[in-house]
């Protein structure tokens, strides 16, 4: 590798050619503060609009200060990171940003986890020198995301996620100068836009401009209501990330503590979404085998590839952008909704309580789940199958508010009958996991042979688009995997053009799958955190005795007692759904 010599604050360094000043400084242990900059290296996402001007440094021979994040090191470059000119500029620019930011840290949902607040602390801001008008905008609340653009600092990370990574295109910059702000087109509400609620904008927002709709208060109210039986389900990706909110290293599994905490919070039953994930595999796997068998038998009407449908962000995405292909995805509901549907029928019967007295709460790594549970097709007589969704972050808040000492909790187990799950269900939380779980079951059902090696390493990883061919005892099955909606778009366009060779494709809206969901503890641009969470899920899978969904005894019991068989009429009614064409859903109603 070619290296060049540079000087930072009078010290000589050798750095690789083509490095930015920021990376060069980082590699030699010099910290340059950044605000708008974002780099998710394992996902190959770089965002450096050079808008915040916090990372400016002095370069000898340049008239103005330059942004370190986007300026390439040149041979012999002399850089000053600590001069009075640099320090004063950074501080003044930060003071400017603060002068247009509501000073309500004490009651802000992002307090303690806010990049702007941290930077103000680091830079020792103690006084508002620059005072003046603040830009204010109408607040926007959708089913999942709250926009309070008064708190936007114009970093535009959300634009990179929404437009470049996800290719959703719900957000763009509007207005000029002081009133320029990120918004859906024509200042529509998010709910009227093509937003999929994937929440990636929320996941990268440095302040509280974009946050989740907080349901903790409502859940507390229901927990306190003696006439209600409140049950909770927890998604697989939550257990691999919740610990971060309590000081554990990323990737620490806190399944037992989480369960204990939920019981302490007063939930009547603590169940596992993993149970429903196994159920999903039974239904989706059966659907795949049905289509596959018909396809291999020469039925020309059969639609392949089968696309997974557990991710509500992804479902919204194809409803908005690819409505012509809405008959390709599996009709199986997501695990969250299967859980709700079974809980409010099978479980309610078992417990002997009325549907309306049973409250189903989900703990999800996801914000789109908040929207999913509010979809009309997932309600009976106006009563939703899942009543409330809390994100991983909200659960952490709830635990803190209740005064529970999370770190000293003893492990507790999930309740039955909806708490038992296989290893296949656990890996639903990472990209590649759903399809691996499906393959484990589909293989055995299709070939009638036992699968000896259940780990399909070829389906794992963090590359945006992956593909693999699995030998189903002589029949090659082509599998595709995409995470991030921009990559889903690529695969969908291949299918639309008739170029797709796949039999089945797994799609997850968020980078990394649910472990990188919009409701997870903030990664602050460190993609190593996602890798650690992913590793944790695979290790939990490995530690399980049962690792195939169809071997889950509770699932077997559910079919024998209640559903009959996969794809039965009852299963269709309770566990499957249909999709809508939302391409014309965008109406301009505001002036």
Rounded distance, CA 356 to CA 168, Å?
Answer: 36
Shortest Å distance, C-beta 249 to other proteins: 34
Q: Out of 19, 46, 50, 585, point to the residue binding other proteins (CB under 8 A).
A: 50
d(CA 104, CA 371): 28
Could you confirm whether 287 is annotated as catalytic? yes
- From the number of C-beta atoms within 10 Å of its C-beta (0-12, 13-18, 19+), residue 228 rates as middle
Among 14, 44, 92, 383, binds other proteins (CB under 8 A): 92
Among 8, 79, 153, 328, which residue sits at the site for other proteins (rule: CB under 8 A)? 153
453 is catalytic: no
- Two tokens at 160? 């990179």
Does position 488 interact with other proteins (CB under 8 A)? The reply is no
Neighbouring residues of 381: CB distance < 8 A, sequence distance ≥ 6 = none
The set of residues, in sequence order, having a beta carbon less than 8 Å from that of 102 and lying 6+ positions away, is 108, 134, 150, 151
**Among 180, 449, 469, 543, which residue sits at the site for other proteins (rule: CB under 8 A)?**
180
Of the residues 4, 15, 59, 97, which one makes contact with other proteins according to CB under 8 A: 97
Secondary structure, 3-state, 365-420 = CCCHHHHHCCCHHHEECCEECCCEEEEHHHHHHHHHHCCCCHHHCCCCCCCCCCCC
Among 112, 177, 247, 474, binds other proteins (CB under 8 A): 177
User: In this chain, which of 33, 154, 432, 521 binds other proteins, going by CB under 8 A?
Assistant: 154
Q: Does 100 bind other proteins (CB under 8 A)?
A: yes
| Active site (annotated) includes residue 369 | yes
Min separation Cβ 133 and other proteins, Å:
7
Q: Active site residue: 377, 457, 493, 561, which one?
A: 377
Stretch that binds other proteins, among 124-132, 293-301, 358-366, 536-544 (CB under 8 A): 124-132
- Count of residues touching other proteins (by CB under 8 A): 37
CA distance 210 to 244: 21
Q: Which is nearer to other proteins, 74 or 588 (CB)?
A: 74
Rounded least distance, CB 118 to other proteins, Å: 17
284 is catalytic: yes
CA distance 521 to 538: 19
Residue 211: closest CA among 192, 221, 195, 197 = 197
Q: Which residues contact 114 (CB under 8 A, 6 or more apart)?
A: 105, 108, 206, 207, 208
89 versus 255: smaller Cβ distance to other proteins: 89
Quote the radius of gyration of the chain (alpha carbons, Å). 25
Whichever of 122 and 377 has its CB closer to other proteins, that residue is 122
Q: Is 70 in the site for other proteins (CB under 8 A)?
A: yes
Question: Between residues 34 and 431, which has the closer beta carbon with respect to other proteins?
Answer: 34
Closest CA to 410 of 264, 301, 269, 302: 264
Among 126, 127, 176, 453, contact with other proteins (rule: CB under 8 A): 176
- Residue 234 CB partners (closer than 8 Å, separation 6+): 258, 259, 262, 270, 271, 272, 273, 362, 363
**CB burial readout 35-46, b (16+ within 10 A) else e:** bbbbbbebbebe
Of 68-76, 223-231, 351-359, 455-463, which segment contacts other proteins by CB under 8 A? Answer: 68-76
DSSP 160-184: IIIIIIS-----EEES-GGG-EEES
Active site residue 330: yes
- 5 vs 175, beta carbon nearer other proteins: 175
The DSSP bridge pattern shows strands 475-483 and 269-272 to be unpaired
Regarding 49 and contact with other proteins (CB under 8 A), the answer is: yes
**Torsion on CA atoms 393, 234, 482, 457, rounded to nearest 10:** 120
Using the contact rule CB under 8 A, the part of the chain among 46-54, 225-233, 401-409, 581-589 near other proteins is 46-54
Nearest to 390 by CA among 524, 232, 590: 232
Please state the closest distance from residue 451 (CB atom) to other proteins, in A.
Answer: 49
For residue 467, the SS3 value is: strand
* Stretch of 167-175, 321-329, 341-349, 431-439 lying at the interface with other proteins (CB under 8 A): 167-175
Tokens 């055995």, residue located: 444
Cis peptide before 305 (omega within 30 of 0): yes
CB of 70 to other proteins, least distance (A): 5
**Which of 121, 136, 172, 475 forms a contact with other proteins (CB under 8 A)?**
172
Q: Which stretch binds other proteins (CB under 8 A): 92-100, 320-328, 345-353, 514-522?
A: 92-100
Contact 371, 316 (CB under 8 A): yes
Among the residue ranges 15-23, 179-187, 266-274, 573-581, the one whose residues contact other proteins (CB under 8 A) = 179-187
CB of 58 to other proteins, least distance (A): 9
Stretch binding other proteins (CB under 8 A), from 10-18, 85-93, 277-285, 569-577: 85-93
CA-to-CA separations, 549 to 246, 469, 545, in angstroms, rounded: 32, 21, 12
* Nearest distance, CB of residue 45 and other proteins, angstroms: 18
Catalytic residues: 284, 287, 310, 330, 369, 372, 377, 514
Q: Where does this chain bind other proteins (CB under 8 A)?
A: 49-54, 56, 64-65, 67, 70-72, 85, 88-89, 92-93, 96-97, 99-100, 129-130, 132-133, 153-154, 172-173, 175-181
């Amino acid at each position: 590798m070619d290296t060049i010599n540079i000087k930072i604050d009078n010290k000589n360094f050798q750095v690789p050619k083509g490095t930015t000043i920021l990376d060069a400084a980082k590699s030699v242990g010099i910290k340059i503060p950044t605000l708008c900059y974002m780099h998710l290296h394992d996902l190959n996402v770089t965002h450096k609009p050079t808008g915040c001007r916090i990372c400016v440094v002095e370069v000898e021979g340049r008239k103005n200060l330059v942004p370190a994040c986007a300026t390439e090191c040149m041979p012999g470059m002399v850089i000053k990171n600590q001069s009075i000119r640099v320090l004063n500029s950074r501080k003044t620019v930060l003071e400017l940003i603060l002068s247009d930011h509501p000073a309500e840290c004490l009651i802000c949902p992002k307090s303690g986890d806010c990049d702007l607040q941290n930077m103000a602390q680091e830079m020792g801001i103690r006084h508002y020198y620059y005072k003046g008008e603040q830009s204010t905008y109408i607040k926007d609340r959708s089913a999942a995301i709250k926009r309070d653009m008064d708190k936007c600092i114009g970093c535009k990370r959300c634009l990179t996620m929404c437009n470049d990574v996800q290719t959703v295109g719900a957000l763009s910059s509007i207005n000029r100068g002081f009133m320029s702000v990120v918004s859906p087109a024509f200042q529509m509400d998010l709910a009227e836009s093509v937003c999929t609620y994937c929440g990636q904008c929320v996941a990268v927002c440095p302040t509280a401009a974009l946050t989740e709709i907080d349901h903790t208060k409502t859940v507390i109210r229901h927990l306190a209501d003696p006439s209600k039986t409140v049950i909770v389900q927890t998604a697989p990706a939550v257990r691999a990330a919740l610990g971060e909110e309590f000081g554990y290293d990323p990737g620490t599994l806190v399944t037992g503590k989480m369960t204990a905490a939920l019981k302490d919070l007063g939930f009547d039953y603590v169940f596992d979404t993993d149970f429903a994930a196994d159920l999903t595999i039974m239904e989706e796997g059966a659907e795949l085998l049905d289509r596959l068998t018909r396809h291999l038998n020469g039925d020309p009407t059969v639609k392949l590839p089968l696309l997974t449908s557990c991710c509500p962000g992804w479902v919204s995405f194809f409803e908005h952008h690819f409505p012509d292909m809405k008959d390709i995805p599996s009709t199986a509901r997501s695990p969250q909704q299967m859980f709700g549907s079974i809980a409010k029928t099978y479980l309610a019967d078992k417990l002997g309580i009325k549907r309306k007295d049973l409250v189903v709460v989900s703990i999800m790594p996801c914000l789109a789940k908040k929207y999913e549970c509010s979809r009309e097709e997932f309600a009976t007589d106006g009563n939703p199958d899942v009543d409330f969704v809390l994100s991983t972050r909200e659960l952490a808040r709830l635990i803190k508010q209740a005064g529970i000492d999370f770190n000293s909790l003893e492990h507790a187990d999930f309740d039955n009958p909806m708490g038992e799950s296989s290893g296949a269900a656990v890996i639903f939380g990472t990209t590649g996991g759903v399809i691996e779980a499906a393959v484990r079951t589909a293989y055995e059902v299709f070939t009638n042979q036992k699968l000896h090696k259940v780990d399909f390493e070829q389906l794992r990883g963090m590359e945006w688009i992956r593909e693999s061919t699995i030998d189903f005892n002589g029949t090659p099955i082509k599998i595709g995997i995409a995470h991030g909606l921009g990559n889903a778009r690529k695969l969908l366009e291949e299918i639309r053009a008739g170029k797709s060779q796949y039999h089945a494709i797994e799609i997850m809206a968020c980078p990394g799958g649910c472990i990188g969901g919009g409701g997870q503890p903030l990664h602050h641009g460190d993609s190593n955190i996602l890798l650690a969470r992913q590793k944790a899920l695979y290790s939990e899978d490995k530690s399980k005795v049962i690792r195939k969904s169809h071997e889950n005894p509770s699932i077997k019991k559910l079919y024998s007692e209640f559903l009959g068989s996969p794809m039965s009429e009852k299963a269709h009614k309770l566990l499957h759904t249909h999709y809508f064409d939302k391409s014309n859903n965008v109406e301009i109603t505001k002036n």
